[in-house]
Amino acid sequence: MRRLLIFSVVFAVLLVPVAVLATGDGSFDGVVRSIESRYHVHATRIPFMGLISLVAGKSMQAAVSNMHVAEFENFAGPVDGDELNRMIEEKLGADWKRMIRETSRRGNEQTLIFVHPEGERMGLFVVDLDGHELDVVQVSVNADQLNKQLGQYEHHQNAHRLPDRD
Amino acid sequence: MKNRIIAFIFTVAALTAPAFAQTAQLPAPSPIEKELAARASNVDEITLDKNTLAFASRFMNGKDKDKTATKQLIDGLDGIYVRDYEFDKEGQFTTEQIEQLRAHYVSAEWSSIVREREHNGRESTDVMVKIVNGKTVGMFILDVEPKEVSIVLILGPIRLEDLNKLKGISGLDGALGGVEFNTKAPDKKSGDQ
């Protein structure tokens, strides 16, 4: 019994660092910090984003939640798309799968969209560089709920639309 | 001790069962793609697995017949893999690299339904389908132009005419646009799809 206990403790001690390394730090702040550090830029964060996220979540009946936004202005110099992609992948960890990558050398444009299934929800992580501006957005979406909300909006819009005059 | 072994076996079986139950998986990218990406001026990569497709299809609820048909199509698919490489000038890839790309994705189970070669092989279009028990369970499209290489791999029940429906998914519109243009005429001619 004692041997089993020791084995369990050793197994847990060995497993924890492996799990941490495998998943990266997986946080929005981790990605923003690494961009700041690598490209020597400073992110502009939206004030009261937590509150905005909460209000948006409540008003949309949790269709959209966990919103994070950071904006980098005056992003100077060319960006190596492979390096940016690698850095984001490492920070997000293996749980996040890249869905879309668009990269253009000429226009200094990069778009990376990662997804992470969260049960009924889907986590979306977007990194978009357009010229000298880079935006980082994280959001958690409940597709069914969002679709319902959008449906209500469309219904409302259609109800107030004037009939076409021939 | 015996009970512990039985419990262990059951736990392992329970954990591994979902892995065996999974449907067709998207293959790992070919090493050639990395070489193409390194030389390309524009690269578009779209990878949609079963989970992501299920997420996308949830936005297609409604009474619209087209949306319902697209939703059914997407729900049945196992994955979509699109790569598009655009180059500033010609000669950025070789015929051998294209052959290696084709060989990476296509095995003996795949049958060619469209094969076009133009300008001494500098332009080509291949559309291949994987048929199992008489049903199409995959489609592979490789479109090569002097300054562009496009790869589309769709796993699951799919027909050529279904490609238009997939354009509704964000990001696939541009990637499938050129491919459809190239495959439309031979498809009508063959009349087998």
Nearest alpha-carbon partner for A71 in A35, A108, A124: A35
Give the chain B residue nearest A97 (alpha carbons). B47
Q: Residue B67 carries which side chain, given as an amino acid letter?
A: K
Residue A124: band (very low, low, confident or very high) from pLDDT cuts 50, 70, 90: very high
Q: Which of B39-48, B122-131, B150-159, B184-193 has the lowest mean pLDDT?
A: B184-193
Better-predicted residue by pLDDT, B192 or B96: B96
| Beta-carbon separation of B52 and A146 below 8 A | no
User: Containing domain of residue B49, as a range?
Assistant: 30-190
Query: CB pairs below 8 Å between A and B: how many?
Result: 54
Query: What does the pLDDT read at residue A46?
Result: 74
- Kindly tell me the sign of the dihedral angle through the C-alpha atoms of B150, B154, B159, B162: negative
Task: Give how many domains chain B has, as a whole number.
Answer: 1
Does a structural domain hold residue B139?
yes
Cα A124 from Cα A133, distance rounded (Å): 20
Does a structural domain hold residue B6?
no
Better-predicted residue by pLDDT, A86 or A17: A86
Better-predicted residue by pLDDT, A88 or A5: A88
Does a structural domain hold residue B140?
yes
Does a structural domain hold residue B67?
yes
Which site among B22, B25, B35, B51 would you substitute to test the A interface, given the most A Cβ atoms closer than 10 Å to its Cβ?
A: B51
Give the chain B residue nearest A109 (alpha carbons). B42
Chain B residues lying within 8 Å of A147, measured CB to CB: 58-59, 61
DSSP string, B165-180: HHTTSTTHHHHHHHHH
Does a structural domain hold residue B21?
no
pLDDT in tens, A79-105: 888 899 999 999 999 999 999 999 987
